[in-house]
Structure 1
């Protein structure tokens, strides 16, 4: 009996170690998932300059019971144009941390998109991206730029902002994640914004 006990104790210790390792791995995975959920925005301060990088997903829903994009104007030749030249859309699209429409919403994209290409499907975008998450709640940046939507990566200009993005300048690289049969488009946005940190000079 004493000999069996001596053989059993190391086995129990090894099992305890394995349980601890597995628990630590799971906890690490949970922590990594939490970091992923909160890593859509990163802020780096260098003196009075702040560089913010954002990654989120833009969901444009033109059809179905709850459209977030509606046509508000068109030209006489719009419906006969293969690029829908002259169509003007008003949007109020959700922005999420992941491509799944049910993932956490961090803001809305509100503004105008117009079909501006005679022979190539190109959008002119005048859109504000208004955020509702964390320290960015209430802040926004704005685009006024051409969007060549059929390119693998669409680069657009950031022309201004509000709140933490006051006097914003920067650029967006957008990539289409998916488009379904209902023309619902999910687009990955990677944004780099440079701003001036007014919190260090509140009276300027």
Structure 2
């Protein structure tokens, strides 16, 4: 058994260059996979802001990319805490990539309850079908709506804000897992 583990680590060591090359080809600026805490969200956010500043991204795009990253990672953290998931079960997978000179993708995913995933898919698809004017109106309506109790905030105002900041309709994907849960992933493009 120990030989198998060591062999697996050695293979990963050998593959690191190919992983790096793939990240460079796909212009992946940031990639994270694992348990996510508030302090880790802040640290990665700081690194993302610094990169965007170095890359001389305009302030509007930089603010939108950073805001989407924060919203998605905080949603994952909040959901995991609300569900009482252990660290690995509640872990996040986050990728930020650049496309061309001025476009960025923020992709985030996590394990969720299957029924929550189906409901979230429907919500994202409804937002994706809206134009900018409709999204703005829905955002204002949600902003004025009375807030539900703390634990049930769900993906409401924050998800609307992500959809408004995104230059393309939001896209999502849900993959059921053998344990009855699902992996939900969301893509926003700025």
Query: How does the TM-score come out when normalised to structure 2?
Result: 0.26
- Who wins on radius of gyration, i.e. which is larger? 1
Query: How does the TM-score come out when normalised to structure 1?
Result: 0.25
Structure with greater helix share of residues: 2
Q: Considering Cα pairs closer than 8 Å and 6+ residues apart, tell me whether 1 or 2 has the greater RCO.
A: 2
Structure with greater strand share of residues: 1
